[in-house]
Amino acid sequence: MKAFMKLKLVVLSLLLITFFSCDKESGNSPNASDPTISVRLVDSPGDFKAVNVEVVDVMIKMDDDSDDESGWISLEAQNETVNLLDFTGGVSKVLVDRFPIPTGTLKQMRLVLGDGNTIVIENDQAIDEEFDLKTPSAQQSGLKLKTNAVIEEGFTYDFVLDFDVEKSIVLSGNSDNIILKPVLYVSTEVSSGIIEGTVTPTDVPSTASVLVDDKGTPETEDDFVISALTDSTGAFALWGVPAGTYEVMVTPLDEESNYASGSAIDVIVVNGEITTISDPIELMLKPGSISGDVTNDIVVSVTLKDKVTEEIIATIDSNENGEFLFEDVTVGTYVVTISATNFVSQDIDVTVETGTETTMEVVTLVAE
């Protein structure tokens, strides 16, 4: 097989990781526009070696600030025991990560603790001793915190539970009676924005997506993709996108489509705001290619020129057998000029169609 001299005119690559999540029991999945909530635990320092608390759940109540025990929604926090003193100095523990919740006003939140709570205190001999922490019955259902946070469609909200250890530990005379009476403070902020845009052509069903570098590190394990389908008008909305600057990629759903991916770069997202991409993201027709063969079996110079604009796209040399190949050529009509020293040049019209290779008829140059 003869070797070909190749020129790549357009390079477009896309790595799109699609995540699907569903409720294993019901088969339902959250709506992409549902607001989501993340809850982190931090701690104010305390004069102890360790304060270990068993986290059972985090729960919320929407549009209801009553003391009624009905209406609480579980955020399905992982049941685990954590040392509160590990989460000081800017370190936090993620209890809930982007969990979908209803819109409305989040009136109350509570942290539910189990009974496997302990404390480690250094005794007079500088030896660490561990003691059980007793939890009053009134605290076992979880300390209720008032929030009154308005939750809107499409945004992600970060809640921070600040566990004040120093105020939460009650020393009642002896080591057999150390009581845990949690003192917590809650704060919240909108931690995402929304990207809206359109795609052209509008009749090509597509997926719009952004890659989120969740921790801002070179590692990819914590990265994730936010994606959405275009509607019948070519419009899309990407919900819950953290603040930052993104490239929005749009890819046709049909891999056999005549259209390639398109993108919009430098799209800036601000927490709590909607960013609208002003111009439609254009899906370009997939490029084609042009191949040819000169029977003189010599190296020839081949120039590709746009027939309409007369712009020279590229010039390459064939291989020693006169064979050449232009790859990734935009759909359109071109003039291919073949020339060599001591030979009469030839101009040949060539039409390039999407996704196909146009093979020119063999050419024989005539000596001057």
Ordered DSSP codes for 285-325? BPPEEEEEEBTT-S--EEEEEETTT--EEEEEE--TTSEEE
Work out how many domains the chain is built from and give that number: 3
pLDDT of residue 224: 82
Q: What is the pLDDT of residues 294-317, one digit of tens each?
A: 999 899 999 999 999 999 999 999
Higher-confidence residue of 15 and 327: namely 327
Q: What is the CATH number of the domain that holds 238?
A: 2.60.40.4130
Q: Which of 78, 180, 174 is nearest to 138 (CA)?
A: 180
pLDDT of residue 11: 30
Question: Does 305 lie in the same domain as 273?
Answer: no
Question: Does 352 lie in the same domain as 317?
Answer: yes
Question: Does 324 lie in the same domain as 307?
Answer: yes
Whether 27 maps to a domain, the answer reads no
Question: Does 66 lie in the same domain as 178?
Answer: yes
pLDDT of residue 5: 35
Q: Which of 220, 250, 282 is the last residue in one of the domains?
A: 282
Q: Which of 162, 190, 218 is the last residue in one of the domains?
A: 190
DSSP-based three-state secondary structure for 171: strand
Q: What is the pLDDT of residues 153-185, one digit of tens each?
A: 999 999 999 888 888 898 876 666 888 888 888
Question: Does 294 lie in the same domain as 254?
Answer: no
Tokens 């110079």 found at: 301
Whether 17 maps to a domain, the answer reads no
Structure token pair of residue 84: 């509160």
Whether 26 maps to a domain, the answer reads no
Question: Does 256 lie in the same domain as 326?
Answer: no
Question: Does 207 lie in the same domain as 185?
Answer: no
Cα torsion 69, 72, 76, 82 to 10°: value is: -50
Ordered DSSP codes for 188-234? EEE--EEEEEEEESTTS-EEEEEEE-SSSSS-STT-EEEEEE--TTS
Whether 209 maps to a domain, the answer reads yes
Whether 351 maps to a domain, the answer reads yes
In whole angstroms, what is the distance from residue 205 CA to residue 352 CA? 25
Question: Does 293 lie in the same domain as 262?
Answer: no
Whether 319 maps to a domain, the answer reads yes
Mean pLDDT of the chain: 85
Q: Which of 190, 216, 246 is the last residue in one of the domains?
A: 190
Phi, psi (deg, nearest 5) at residue 139: -95, -10
Q: What is the CATH number of the domain that holds 335?
A: 2.60.40.10
pLDDT of residue 136: 73
Question: Does 216 lie in the same domain as 150?
Answer: no
Question: Does 206 lie in the same domain as 185?
Answer: no
pLDDT of residue 28: 45
Whether 24 maps to a domain, the answer reads no
With bands split at pLDDT 50, 70 and 90, how would you rate the model's confidence at 1?
very low
Domain that holds residue 271: 193-282
pLDDT of residue 305: 97
Q: What is the pLDDT of residues 16-50, one digit of tens each?
A: 333 333 333 333 456 767 899 999 998 876 778 99
b/e sequence 258-270, b meaning 16+ C-beta within 10 Å: ebbbbbbeebebe
Sign of the CA dihedral running 325, 326, 328, 332 = negative
Question: Does 181 lie in the same domain as 66?
Answer: yes
Q: What is the pLDDT of residues 73-100, one digit of tens each?
A: 999 999 999 999 888 767 789 999 999 9
Q: What is the pTM of this model?
A: 0.63
Question: Does 218 lie in the same domain as 85?
Answer: no
Whether 220 maps to a domain, the answer reads yes
Q: What is the pLDDT of residues 261-297, one digit of tens each?
A: 999 999 999 998 999 999 999 999 999 999 999 999 8
